[in-house]
Amino acid sequence: MLVVISGGTTMRELVNMLPPDLNVTFVTTNVPIALELLEHPNAEVIFLGNKLLKSAQMAVGAEAVQRLGQLKADLCLLGTNSIDLQMGITDLEWEIIEVKKAMIACAQKTVSLAISEKLNSIQRLQVCPLDQVDILITELDPSNEKLQPYAKRGLTIL
């Protein structure tokens, strides 16, 4: 399996919960995520580099976007700053959004990981509309009323 994975604190928690013997190839542009993934001895880790954006500790720019465009990933695991029913996933920085768009475009399925406080919030720039997200994972129980509008829009809630 080929998985593209973004960054952020929620993604770091996910990586720490992965089974240590997981046999998968991860592609990331995020420095802390790449380092965390190295702790999984059976996982191959591919870091796509370019200009490093210090605030996000990730590679951004045309080279990273182009290289993601050459992949056919099974899954995109996307750290999410804001998600809303009308705007979908939004973020603050143009360079980060371009990388996230390329991650979504190269994957067969997209999984948004967001803590509940990020639900129903909007940042100034759109990453993708909600119909490009297949699965939404939060810490809430999937039956929570806050998640029901997302389920009605066709997202699988975990």
pLDDT computed for residue 75 by the predictor: 98
User: Which pLDDT score, from 0 to 100, does residue 54 have?
Assistant: 87
- The pLDDT profile of the chain, 158 residues, written as one tens digit per residue, is 999 999 989 999 999 999 988 999 999 999 999 999 999 999 999 999 888 888 888 999 999 999 999 999 999 999 999 999 999 999 999 999 999 999 999 999 999 999 999 999 999 999 999 999 999 999 999 999 999 999 999 999 99
What's the pLDDT at 45? 96
All domains of the chain in start order, with CATH = 2-157 (3.40.50.1360)
How high is the pLDDT of residue 86? Answer: 96
- How far the first Cα of the chain sits from its last, in Å, is 20
Long-range CB contacts for residues 11-15, cutoff 8 Å, separation at least 24: 11/77, 11/79, 11/113, 12/36, 14/77, 14/113
Whole-prediction pTM value?
0.93
- What is the rounded distance in angstroms from the CA atom of residue 94 to the CA atom of residue 23? 33
What torsion, rounded to 10 degrees, do the Cα atoms 3, 54, 10, 22 define? 30
User: Looking at residue 130, what is its pLDDT?
Assistant: 97
Given this model, what pLDDT does residue 56 score?
Answer: 87
The per-residue pLDDT for 40 is 92
The residues, ordered by sequence, that sit 6+ positions from 69 with a Cβ below 8 Å of its Cβ are 102, 105, 106
Query: What is residue 88's predicted lDDT score, i.e. its pLDDT?
Result: 97
The reported pLDDT for the residue numbered 38 is: 93
Q: What is the pLDDT of residue 93?
A: 92
